[in-house]
Amino acid sequence: MGVSFNLIFKYFAGKYVRWFRKVAKRCANTLIDVLKEAGPRGEIVTQVSSSQDKHHDEQTAKCERTQWRQWLACISATLSMVAVGTVYGWTTTSLSRLTSGASDVPIKITDDQGSWIVSLTVIGSMIGPFLGASLADRYGRKKCLLFASGFFIVGWTIVFFAQTVVALYVSRMILGIGVGISYTTNPMYVSEVADVEIRGALGTLIAVNVFTGSLLTCSIGPWVSYHVLTGILLMVPILFVICFSWFPETPAFLVTRGRRAEATRSLAFFKGIRDRDEARRELEYTLRNVFIEDVCDNTPVTGPGARTEPVKRSWMGKLKLMLLPSNARALGIILSLIATQQLSGNFSTIQYLEVLFKKAAIGIDSNVATILVLAVGLISCGLSTATVEGAGRRPLLIASTLGSSITLAILAIYLMLDERGIDVSAVNLLPVIDVIIFQVAYQIGLGTLPNALIGELFPTEVKAFAGAIIIVFDGVLGFIVSKLYQVIGDWLGADTVYYFFAGSCLLAFVMVIFTVPETKGRTFREIQELLGGREKKKEVTECLQDRNSMV
């Protein structure tokens, strides 16, 4: 019996060792590829579009073009995300005032009511995406973003005049709808306006401006009254409307609605093209890269016989498009990253930052510590904007997930020692320092890049639908995490919660290595081939040949 057991043990041990070697070898090869991708791009352009892209690049090099209008348009569009940031920042600064019954607040609330105020925003953000997706596809990305500003204006007005907790509940729900619409529509507008060379950098502005709004609120909130803060936050969506109204709709949307003349003017505006014929040629090149997803209808998108009416698809039709292998893989990647965002504990930690620091009994004012953490987060977001086009998406995500896991584990150990009665007064600043390092690690990748990838991985026709699915998923998970953060922390201890957060980031580290593609410098066509594999590449090649022959 002992001999047979030893044989069985050796057999399975040998199997395990061989499997472990295989995984380790694959990880090593993947890391080598990541380091290569972080350098010069090399010959990664596919053969399908190489001749067309080369000709386009030669023509572009001869003409002087500008990208500053794209930067201005995207900065103005993402001012709506500053409004989103103020919604999150308001709870950080005002929740403790409301629960303590400070003299300048209209009502006093309980801890449970405060938890619902945080969570109801998330519920509203689950309603907003489907409304935003429908409006963005029907009326345009620009009008949808302007429509979202109305929810922020109405929501803050109710907060200003609220005298009951029910009024605060209603206001947070309305603000949440605005949050959902903004999160759904911004990636569409930015990705359809930006050139390939700056698409990633402009995509990170979504997260950068969310942090800007949170930092603005937390910097002003402790030093002004409750109503003065609300009045200042009300001005943010109004400023967004004033700045953004001057910019045109995206060329991609205008083409899908059959408004080709407007699309040409819009493209010329964003790229600084003065010659009308050159603008038309640029539009045709853009269409070849954008509308590959229409591979089923054989309608040419450029030249004689080009589409002049929009393709109308029902929600069920868009769902069928989402089930295509390339789109399904893209959705799986984004949902995994969004889940990691929530399960990293970043949003919950930001919402309860002041409470966390008071509990840790740090030696500095908790308001100052909160502002410091948010300022570092904003700088880290800016670092991601500055480096994403040079370093690439994958290296930043790999560094971000691993760094987040390590810092969260350190915070969990500190909280565990504190809860077990061990004297940690000698390292009172450790939570602040650790959360600051966590913000750096989190914001250079996990915090900024998923929103940029939404605009890069999905075709134009399903981008709104995919965005709605993603934001609703984010909202459901965020609601669960925000409600359970305090409950589980009280039940099992805060250290258990942060051990779980650290484990989630570690799993994401492995997921990024094996599943997330590098999109730096790649056109939409190349990204779709990368997601779909050889079959997608063959399908796209045949589609292009058929359309070229028709033209």
Residues 182, 80: contact at Cβ < 8 Å? yes
User: Can you say whether the dihedral through the CA atoms of 372, 376, 377, 379 is positive or negative?
Assistant: positive
Digit-coded pLDDT (tens) for 458-477? 887 788 888 889 988 988 88
Do 284 and 421 lie in a common domain? no
| Judgement on whether residues 370 and 255 belong to the same structural domain of the protein | no
- 39-83 pLDDT per residue, tens: 433 333 334 344 444 444 445 444 567 788 999 999 999 999 999
Are residues 183 and 347 in contact, defined by beta-carbon separation less than 8 angstroms? Answer: no
Q: Is 349 within 8 Å of 357 (Cβ atoms)? A: no
Q: What is the pLDDT of residue 315?
A: 65
Please choose, from the candidates 55, 326, 352, 78, the residue with its C-alpha nearest in 3D space to the C-alpha of residue 190.
78
Residue whose pair of structure tokens reads 């694959």 in the numeric block: 26
List Cα–Cα distances, 491 to 487, 488, 496, in angstroms. Answer: 6, 5, 10
Question: CA 246, CA 511: separation in Å to the nearest integer?
Answer: 42
| Residue 406 falls inside a structural domain | yes
Evaluate whether residue 10 is within a structural domain: no
Domain finish residue from 276, 294, 312: 294
Buried b (16+ CB within 10 A) or exposed e, 88-111: bbbbbbbbbbbbeeeeebbeebee
- Binning pLDDT at 50, 70 and 90, where does residue 442 land? very high
Burial level of 352, CB count in 10 A (0-12/13-18/19+)? Answer: buried
Give the burial string for 272-311 (b: 16+ CB within 10 Å, else e).
ebeeeebbbbbbebbbbbbbbbbbeeeebbbeeebbeeee
Do 138 and 221 reside in the same domain of the chain? Answer: yes
Domain count, the chain: 2
Look up the CATH number of the domain holding residue 156. 1.20.1250.20
Residue 92 is part of which domain span?
Answer: 65-294
Q: Is residue 16 part of a domain?
A: no
Q: Tell me: do 408 and 489 sit in the same domain.
A: yes
| Cα(238)–Cα(508) distance, integer angstroms | 38
Dihedral of CA atoms 48, 453, 152, 68 in degrees, nearest 10, equals -60
Q: Which of 184, 175, 231 is nearest to 464 (CA)?
A: 184
- Would you say residue 528 lies in a domain? no
Question: Residue 519: which H helix or E strand, with range?
Answer: none
Instruction: Based on the fold, state whether residues 127 and 273 are members of the same structural domain.
Output: yes
217/261 same-domain check? yes
Position 288 in a domain: yes
Work out the average pLDDT over 497-513. 92
| Overall residue count recorded for the chain in this entry | 551
Residue 532 is classified by DSSP as H
Domain contains 479: yes
Do residues 488 and 362 both lie within one domain? yes
Domain boundary among 250, 276, 294: 294
Q: CA-CA distance, 252 to 288, in Å (whole number)?
A: 11
Residue 530 forms part of a structural domain? no
Name the token pair of 338.
């969004």
Distance CA 208, CA 377 (A): 9
CA distance 378 to 374: 6
* Higher-scoring residue by pLDDT: 157, 101: 157
Rounded distance, CA 504 to CA 201, Å? Answer: 26
Instruction: Name the pLDDT band for 367 (thresholds 50, 70, 90).
Output: confident
Q: Which of 347, 397, 412, 342 lies closest to 374 in space, CA to CA?
A: 347
Q: Residues 308-344: pLDDT tens digits?
A: 444 556 667 777 888 888 888 999 999 999 999 988 8
Residue 509 pLDDT > 50: yes
Please tell me the distance from the alpha carbon of residue 207 to that of residue 81, in angstroms, as a whole number. Answer: 8
Is residue 538 domain-resident? no
Domain co-membership, 283 together with 329: no
Q: Indicate if 343 and 391 belong to the same structural domain.
A: yes
405 and 488: one domain?
yes
- Give me 92's structure tokens: 């950080």
Q: Are 281 and 402 contained in the same domain?
A: no
Q: 153 and 209 share a domain?
A: yes
